């Protein structure tokens, strides 16, 4: 007899006001893989022949990840629904790990979903013996450590913990209890990570203490206070994984030369400067000064310093205010743009749209950020000198 599963993936997108993730909760990482992967593994263990998933939250993202179940060698169907109430009565709500599928308390307020995420990671650590870790090995301190991890002899490891590959734990640092450290992360000297999640590519700076939080790059998600904080000081939290999005040495030198060239003009220009707090594309924030009149390069003169520092590109989408995401009509696109490295000159400038407040700017920004089209960079570079010295009213 054919064994089938009907699963409901609850639409919790309205609760995701802190992380504002591009992915539905079913694709949030629990330890070393997304939540839905544990259900697929359990389906294999129970010899389930066919799985149907009902979801109203970004079904295409889920379908792309599962790839019709090819990885699990059994068909997986993703059925879009308008709301959770449209799922069949026999569909099992996926609210936790397969062998402990429960919601201890209803998700309420901004912190509710984050607290559930942290709770599931703690449950995963408590039952790590039940899960198959193909790469990580048991550490004498009782936790699990991946390959190419460097741990200083004076660091303190308190079980349970999980440290993925290519991480570094500095002198006097503490990891655990209940710490999940993603790949390519750094826990610097005398830092502490307890009951927290450090997502891949994040540096936790010296003397920084994390407890009951999740961090991604320069973004801190506090489950206790129910808030998100964009850390602008890179010595506290920073993103170290996006080397490809950082400007090259040549690009920084060009920005420095352009900054020096424009400095006399900017000093003599009567420009009313205003301050803008914008997404840096890495979970943190940039504090930029911008002008309201004059030539484009003069108005964005201060931005060139951020290119020299490696926090912006010469060519990229326009910097977006940190509150822009909540005001955008298309929330998914807004979240993607917030995680794209901004630039001094953008594709929208070619089309005479010089501000994220322009009605059509987001269309050009979306195309530039979401499409891997080399012709975009070529087009902007061909017009860059005309653009940077273009007078704007």
Name the residue with higher pLDDT: 330 or 222.
Answer: 222
131 pLDDT above the threshold of 90: no
Percentage of the chain beyond pLDDT 70 is 90
Q: Which among 131-145, 210-224, 268-282, 374-388 has the top mean pLDDT?
A: 210-224
Among 231-245, 318-332, 334-348, which is the least confidently predicted range?
318-332
Measured CA angle at 205 (ends 201, 210), to 5 deg: 90
pLDDT digits (tens, 9 = 90+) for 32-43: 899 999 999 999
pLDDT digits (tens, 9 = 90+) for 35-71: 999 999 999 899 999 999 999 999 999 998 887 666 6
CA distance 155 to 244: 31
Residues 6+ apart with CB under 8 A from 45: none
Task: Quote the pLDDT of residue 29.
Answer: 96
pLDDT digits (tens, 9 = 90+) for 176-198: 999 999 988 999 999 999 999 99
Alpha helices in 34-111 (DSSP H): 35-45, 59-66
- Predicted model pTM: 0.67
Q: Are the C-beta atoms of 133 and 32 separated by less than 8 Å?
A: yes
Task: Quote the pLDDT of residue 244.
Answer: 46
pLDDT digits (tens, 9 = 90+) for 277-309: 888 777 678 889 888 777 888 889 999 999 998
Q: Are the C-beta atoms of 362 and 318 separated by less than 8 Å?
A: no
Q: Is the dihedral of CA 349, 354, 358, 364 positive or negative?
A: positive
Query: Which residue in 318, 343, 371 sits closest to 247, CA to CA?
Result: 343
Q: Are the C-beta atoms of 194 and 177 separated by less than 8 Å?
A: yes
- pLDDT mean across residues, the chain: 87
CA distance 291 to 24: 38
């Amino acid at each position: 007899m054919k064994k089938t599963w009907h699963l409901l993936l609850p639409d919790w997108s309205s609760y995701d006001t802190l992380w504002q993730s591009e992915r539905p909760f079913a694709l949030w990482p629990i330890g070393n893989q997304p939540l839905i992967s544990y259900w697929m593994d359990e389906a294999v263990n129970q010899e389930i022949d066919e799985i149907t998933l009902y979801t109203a939250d970004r079904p295409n993202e889920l379908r792309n990840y599962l790839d019709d179940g090819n990885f699990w060698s059994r068909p997986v169907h993703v059925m879009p629904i308008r709301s959770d109430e449209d799922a069949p009565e026999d569909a099992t709500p996926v609210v936790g790990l397969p062998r402990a599928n429960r919601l201890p308390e209803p998700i309420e307020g901004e912190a509710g979903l984050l607290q559930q995420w942290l709770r599931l990671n703690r449950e995963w650590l408590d039952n790590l013996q039940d899960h198959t870790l193909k790469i990580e090995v048991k550490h004498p301190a009782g936790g699990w450590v991946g390959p190419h991890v460097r741990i200083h002899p004076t660091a303190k490891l308190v079980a349970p913990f999980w440290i993925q590959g290519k991480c570094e734990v500095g002198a006097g640092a503490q990891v655990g209890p209940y710490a999940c450290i993603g790949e390519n992360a750094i826990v610097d000297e005398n830092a502490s990570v307890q009951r927290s999640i450090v997502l891949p590519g994040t540096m936790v700076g010296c003397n920084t203490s994390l407890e009951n939080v999740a961090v991604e790059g320069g973004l801190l998600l506090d489950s206790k206070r129910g808030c998100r904080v964009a850390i602008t000081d890179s010595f506290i939290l920073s993103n170290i994984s996006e080397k490809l999005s950082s400007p090259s040495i040549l690009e920084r030198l060009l920005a420095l030369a352009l900054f020096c060239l424009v400095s006399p003009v900017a000093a003599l220009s009567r420009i009313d400067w205003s301050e803008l707090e914008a997404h840096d594309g890495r979970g943190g924030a940039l504090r930029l000064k911008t002008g309201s009149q004059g030539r484009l390069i003069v108005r964005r003169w201060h931005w060139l310093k951020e290119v020299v520092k490696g926090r912006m590109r010469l060519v990229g989408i326009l910097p977006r205010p940190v509150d822009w995401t909540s005001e955008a009509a298309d929330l998914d696109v807004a979240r993607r743009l917030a995680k794209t490295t901004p630039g001094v000159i953008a594709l929208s400038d070619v089309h005479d749209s010089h501000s994220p407040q322009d009605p059509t700017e987001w269309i050009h920004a979306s195309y530039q950020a979401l499409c891997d089209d080399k012709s975009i960079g070529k087009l902007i570079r061909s017009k860059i000198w005309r653009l940077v010295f273009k007078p704007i009213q």
